[in-house]
Amino acid sequence: MSNTILELPCGVDLHGQVKRQVEIRKMKGSVQRDVARIVGQKNPEMSAAIDAVLNPSIVSLEGESLRPDALRVMYIADRDWLLFEVLKLLRGDKVTLTDDCEKCEPVSRIEYPDFDLVGMPLTKLDNDRPWWNGQDVVAADVVSILSPGDRKNLLGRCFVVENKDLGARAVFRYPNGADQKMVGRLGDKPVEVMWKLLCLCLLQWKDPERELKTVPKNFNEDFWGDVDLDVLEWSQKAFAEAMPGLDTVTELECPRGHKKKTQVSAFPFLLQGSAQA
C-alpha cells in the first residue's frame, strides 16, 4: 500500500547488467527495535545497522525478491542512499538537524529546522562504464556487444585513474556492502578506513617502480606501505573523487553566526521516538 518504486543511483551489477529498480516499504516497529539494539551497543557495527533497516524495507529488486547476498554486493553509495529513502518514506522530506557550536562560550545549541533531505547533492553512476572480468578492464562499448554467456564473467563496474606526472595508473572497483562491513570493524579512524578500503578495492596497479600487478594475490595492506607517499596520497584523492553517492555533509550556522560542517546521518531520525533517540 505504502510501497514506493525507485531507481538506484548506482544499481546492482550482475552478469554485465545493471539492476536499478527497487521497491521499498514503510518501516515497521520491529525494524526500529532491531536497529536500536545494534546502534545502542558499545561499538555499534553500522553496516549491520544498515542491513537491519534495508533487509526488511526492500520488497524487490527489478521485480524479484531480494537475494540473500544482494546487500553485500550493493554499492555503499546505494545502501546509504536507500537509508535516506526509507527515512523519507517514514518521516517525510524535511527533518530538524541539531548540533553543538563549540566556538560559542558557553557551547550553544544549533537547531536547523526544515532541512530538506531531497536537496542533498547526489552523484549517480552511469551504466556506461568499464567492467572488470577478473583479470582486466573491459571497455563499456565491448561489454555492449558481448554475448550473455561472456557477460556472465563480468564482476562489476570499475574505474581507472591515472597520473602522468607520477607515472602511476590504478584500476579500482566501487566499494560495496561487504567492504563496508570490513572497514566498519575499524571504527571511527578515517585514515585506516581509507587505507583498508583502497586495499580492498584495488584491482590493478602500475607505477615506474613496479611491474603490472593484478588482484587477487598482489594486494594487501603491505602493498600501500611500500608505495611512495605522494603516489599513495594521489591515489586516495583520486579514489575519493570517483566515489558516487550522497554528499551528506552540510553547513550549519549557530545563533551567533559561527559556521559548522555537520554530517547528516539517517539513524537518529529513524530512531526518533524510540527510547534510543
Q: Which residues bind Zn ion (CB under 5 A)?
A: 101, 103-104, 254, 256, 258
Q: In terms of CB distance, is 171 or 254 closer to Zn ion?
A: 254
Q: In terms of CB distance, is 105 or 211 closer to Zn ion?
A: 105
CB of 269 to Zn ion, least distance (A): 24
Q: In terms of CB distance, is 209 or 253 closer to Zn ion?
A: 253
CB of 256 to Zn ion, least distance (A): 5
For cell 555537520, the residue is 262
CB of 223 to Zn ion, least distance (A): 44
**Which residue(s) pair with 4 in the sheet?**
24
Sheet arrangement for strand 202-207:
137-138, 131-132, 156-163, 168-173, 202-207, 210-214
Q: Are 15 and 154 in contact (CB under 8 A)?
A: yes
Of 144, 190, 199, whose CA–CA distance to 170 is shortest? 199
CB of 143 to Zn ion, least distance (A): 52
Compute the chain's Rg from CA coordinates.
21
Q: In terms of CB distance, is 83 or 254 closer to Zn ion?
A: 254
Q: How far apart are CA 250 and CA 260, in angstroms?
A: 8
Amino acid identity for residue 47 in this structure: S
